[in-house]
Every structure is written in C-alpha cells, then in structure tokens.
C-alpha cells in the first residue's frame, strides 16, 4: 500500500504528524520500560531455578574453542531494519529470510533490541535456533533498566540475572555491551560503582558517551578487572583505539553525525591499521550507522581491509 504523499501538506499538518509520531513512540517506550521490570523478575526466578538444578544444559553445534579462536568478529548493530530493504535485503525477500541473508554475509551481530526490551528465555532460544548450522556469535546490549534507568545504582543482582543470557547462549555468546548515557561524566566514585556491579566472569564491554572517561584513571582498573573499554567513532568522542584487555571492541556510529556517516576506505584503513597494531587477540567491531544503510557496506569493507 502506497503511503499518501505529504508534498501538499501544510507546515502545521507536518508538525502535527511529527508530534503524533513522537507521542506514540513515547507511549511505546513507557510500556517497554514497565514490561522490563516484570521480565527482569522472571529471569531472576529462572536463574535461581537453574542454579538449584545445577545450571543450564544447552546443546550447541558450536564450540567455545571455535569462538575464542576467531580473531575478527565484524558485523552490524542490529540486522532488522526496514531501511535496508531494497538495498542489503533484496526487494521481495520475506522478512523471515532476513536473518539467514544477514548470516550469509556476517558471522556476528550486536543485538540492540535487548537494550529497549529485556529478552525472555524464548527470545534467546530463537536466537540459538536461527543460528543453527552456522558459525555465528551474538553480542548482547544490556537493557537500559540497568544502565539508563537505575544507572548502576544497586544493580548487581540485575546484572547477574541478565548474565543468564550468556549461559543460555553458551558458546554463541560474544560480549555484554553496557552503554552509558552522555549525561554520566567521569568521577572516581562513578567508576568504582560501575566496576563493582559487573560480573567479571563475563566478557564485559563498557561504552561511554562522554569524553571525560578517556583517561588513565579509567584504563588502569579496566585492565585490572579485564573489562573491555569500548572504542567509539562518534561525534565529540576521542578518535582513538583503547585497549584494556586481550579483546578490543569498536563501535562505528559516525565521526560527525550519529548513525548516518558513510565511512570511506581511507577512514577505515586508519582503523584497520590501529586494530592490526593493537596486538589484540580478538576484535569485536560493529557498525551502528544504519540510517542510510551504510553499516553492511562499511562492515564488509573493514573485513576486507583486515583480511578477515
């Protein structure tokens, strides 16, 4: 069904339509945030039950050794975007075939939906099922309930509950990505609070959105705990690769404008050189410049430059 043209709409009508979309989006987000509390409680109960039963027993067709032996994990931040239809996803390809199509080009994805909606056990089982027969690994972005709503205040149990996702995924688990809002600036107390809440038995990545966190007072305790500092290509953030663990983690948002930048070969060659010179055992790199569909193209180019 073709969408009605807005060419002749008045500025007032366009503004009203935009406001209505904003209102519906806020209503949807409010419902998600309410649901996340209940979902977190269910996962807590599930974790306790599984611990009493001796832990989850998930059969996998991919070994942990295969994941750890892979040097480069390069993909996109999410894979289900309507804007990719007609470009990355061929016209006429059913949405049920989008993941297999994505997985035919990449061996990893950074799950972004888990930030907005705390995943259920059924959701995780779907991730496992759709990756069967493939050498595919998931990185999971931690729910905003922990990072943005509670802001790491008394969230140690929540972090442990969310960690059950890794046990369910088994060797298909990549990293947990904790993204903090730009309003949180560096303080020694804030740093201690974050690191004390993490489960350091996991492969944890912390992404800061304020430049004050790029300093040696942060890097040192990250190294001591094996926490991975997320290197970002984003507006007003330091343009550098930071290594605090055997693994390095990079997110490409766009250096000047969030989510819309098309990285040139010259720009990605700079990052490719940094990656190769870092001495990292494993590289996790995800492109979040999905608005114009550049992410898939840029991810494949970086892979090519690295010979991945």
Domains in the chain: ranges and CATH: 58-306 (3.20.20.410)
Q: Is the model's pLDDT at 203 over the cut of 50?
A: yes
Please give, one letter per residue, the 3-state secondary structure of 128-182. HHHCCCCCCEEEEECCHHHHHHCCCCCCHHHHHHHCHHHHHHHHHEEEEEEECCC
Report the predicted TM-score, pTM, of the whole model to 2 decimal places. Answer: 0.90
Give buried/exposed letters for 195-221 (b at 16+ CB in 10 A, else e): bebbeeebbbbbbbbeeebbeeebbee
Q: Which among 93, 70, 62 is positioned nearest to 80, based on CA atoms?
A: 93
Reference 204, options 169, 245, 153, 240; nearest CA is: 245
| DSSP sequence for 59-72 | --SS-HHHHHH--E
Rounded Cα distance, 123 and 116, in Å: 14
Q: What's the confidence (pLDDT) of residue 5?
A: 46
Residue 13 pLDDT > 60: yes
Other CB atoms within a 10 A radius of the CB of residue 153 amount to 9
pLDDT, residue 17, reads: 74
Contact in structure between 96 and 129 (CB atoms under 8 Å): no
The 10s digit of each residue's pLDDT in 45-96 is: 999 999 998 865 554 544 556 556 569 999 999 999 999 999 999 999 999 9
Residue 155 has pLDDT above 70, yes or no: yes
Instruction: Give the pLDDT score at 3.
Output: 42
Report the sign of the C-alpha dihedral through residues 212, 154, 110, 204, in that order.
positive
Reduced to 3 states, what is the DSSP secondary structure of residue 77? strand
Evaluate whether 191 touches 218 at the Cβ level (below 8 Å): yes
* Residue closest to 177 by CA, chosen among 77, 67, 43, 47: 77
CA atoms within 13 A on the CB side of 145: 26
Going by the DSSP 8-state scheme, the letter that residue 119 receives in this structure is: P
Give the model confidence (pLDDT) of 209-227 as tens digits: 999 999 999 999 999 999 9
- Give CA angle at 180 (220, 224), nearest 5°: 20
Q: What is the pLDDT of residue 64?
A: 52
The C-alpha angle with vertex 302 and arms to 62 and 74, in degrees rounded to 5, equals 25
Least-confidence region, from 16-25, 173-182, 255-264, 298-307: 16-25
Contact 281, 71 (CB under 8 A): yes
pLDDT, position 65: 60
Q: Which residues have CB under 8 Å from 79's CB, separation 6+?
A: 98, 99, 102, 109
- What length does the chain have? 308
């Amino acid at each position: 069904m073709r969408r009605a043209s807005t060419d002749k709409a008045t500025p007032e009508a366009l503004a009203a339509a935009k406001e209505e979309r904003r209102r519906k989006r806020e209503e949807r987000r409010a419902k998600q945030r309410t649901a996340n509390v209940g979902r977190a409680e269910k996962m807590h109960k599930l974790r306790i039950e599984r611990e009493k039963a001796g832990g989850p027993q998930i059969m996998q067709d991919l070994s942990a050794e295969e994941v750890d032996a892979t040097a480069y994990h390069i993909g996109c931040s999410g894979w289900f975007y309507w804007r990719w239809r007609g470009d990355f996803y061929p016209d006429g390809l059913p949405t049920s075939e989008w993941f297999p199509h994505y997985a035919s080009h990449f061996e990893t994805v950074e799950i972004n939906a888990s930030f907005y909606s705390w995943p259920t056990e059924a959701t995780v089982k779907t991730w496992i099922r759709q990756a069967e027969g493939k050498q595919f690994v998931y990185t999971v972005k931690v729910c905003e309930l922990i990072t943005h709503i509670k802001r790491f205040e008394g969230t140690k149990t929540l972090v442990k509950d969310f960690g059950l996702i890794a046990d369910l995924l088994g060797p298909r688990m990549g990293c947990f990505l904790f993204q903090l809002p730009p309003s949180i600036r560096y303080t020694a107390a804030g740093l201690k609070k974050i690191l004390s809440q993490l489960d350091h038995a996991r492969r944890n990545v912390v992404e800061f959105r304020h430049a004050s966190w790029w300093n040696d007072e942060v890097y040192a305790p990250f190294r001591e705990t094996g926490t991975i500092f997320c290197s970002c290509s984003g507006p007003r953030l330091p343009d550098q690769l930071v290594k605090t663990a055997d693994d390095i983690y990079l997110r490409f948002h766009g250096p000047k404008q969030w989510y819309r930048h098309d990285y040139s070969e010259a720009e990605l060659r700079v990052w490719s050189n940094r990656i190769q010179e870092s001495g990292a055992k494993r590289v996790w790199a995800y492109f979040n410049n999905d608005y114009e569909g550049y992410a898939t193209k840029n991810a494949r180019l970086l892979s090519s430059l690295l010979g991945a």
